[in-house]
Structure 1
Amino acid sequence: MLRAATAGFIGVAVASVFQCVAARSGCFDGVVAAIVSLSVLSLAARAWTRRQPVAFRFASGGLTTWNRAGTAQYAQIIGCAQWSDRLLALTLLSVDGCESCVLIAADAVERDVFRELSVRSRRGAHAVL
């Protein structure tokens, strides 16, 4: 679903670039600008997708995440919010001091796993506060 939305955004952006450039500079320049914008947006979307966490493990007071490229990163849980039994939002502080947010949907994992994640996340967040 996310890939389809990203592809739709890229398609609309490329068509908009073509329309704007072609109206002012001609059709050839519009095609060139559209191809360049398609390339840049596609590469950026691919890089963003590879950076998204795909696996995680709880450690003492923190969370270790692995992305699609296979890179592991430890981060301390500094905040946690849970919306009903649907979504868990974790605020993480990495070793280099950058904050990031990880959203975990309840339907992405099993019910017992989601419950354990929410309990451990709240404990980790309260330990920091």
Structure 2
Amino acid sequence: MLRRSAALLGAMAVFALIASCAVYTVVAPRFGIAQAVWFAAATLSILMLGMLAHERRRPAALKIGPDGIVALSRAGAVMLAGRIVGFSQWTGLLLVLAVAARDGKGRVGPLLIPADSLSPDSFRELAVRARHGAR
């Protein structure tokens, strides 16, 4: 089971705030403070809606087998299934897996796994399997 990642949610929220402040900074000198606040609020709202949509599309569980990995939704539907063909690891904080469809005809899909969504032992095991599976 995957937990919600507080680090990823925090990073997305900080990004949304920085982007809306940037919009305010650009719009205020040209159109006035009232318009700048409106544009900044709209930017923040759109980015936060995107963040919520991302959270809904995030897998709830992972099944790791000898032939690959399966990501399941909260309802138990298969979201992504196949073998690991590539990976990228950002220290012990984030793991990005490239998963190719089992039949070989589907495109490669990314799977983003923050470290705080798994136990430390499970995250390490998944990183090791990704290294060996990507060869």
Q: TM over 0.5: same fold?
A: yes
Which stretch has the larger CA shift, 115-124 or 13-22? Answer: 115-124
Of 97, 104, 109, the residue aligned with 1:99 is 109
Shift of 1:46: 1.5
Q: Deviations over 1:53-108 (max 9, x none)?
A: 33100245221102457542212222356789x47653212463133144463893
**Amino acid of the residue matched to residue 20 of structure 1?**
V
Q: Which has the larger radius of gyration?
A: 1
Go from structure 1 to structure 2 and tell me whether the alpha carbon gap of 1:38 and 1:83 turns closer, same or farther (over 3 Å shift). closer
Q: 2:69 aligns with which of 49, 57, 63?
A: 63
CA–CA distance in structure 1, aligned partners of residues 21 and 114 of structure 2: 33
Counting matched residue pairs gives 124
Residue 108, structure 1, aligned to residue 114, structure 2: no
TM-score, length of structure 2 as denominator length: 0.66
- Aligned identity (percent) is 34
Distance 1:42 1:83 in 2: 25
Could you tell which deviates more after superposition, 89-98 or 39-48?
Answer: 89-98
Q: CA–CA distance in 2 between the matches of 1:100 and 1:41?
A: 21
User: Offset at 1:37?
Assistant: 0.5
Instruction: State the secondary structure of the residue aligned to 2:107.
Output: coil
Note the residue ranges of structure 2 that are not aligned, 5 or more in a row: 1-6
CA distance in 2, matches of 1:69, 1:8: 30
**Match for residue 90 of structure 1 among 85, 97, 102:** 97
Counterparts of 1:43 and 1:22, CA distance in 2: 24
Q: How many Å separate the matches in 2 of 1:83 and 1:11?
A: 24
Gaps of 5+ in 1: none
Is the 1:91–1:102 Cα contact (8 Å) retained in structure 2? no
Are the structure 2 counterparts of residues 75 and 26 from structure 1 closer, same or farther at C-alpha, using a change threshold of 3 Å? same
Q: Distance between the aligned counterparts of 1:103 and 1:19, measured in 2?
A: 34
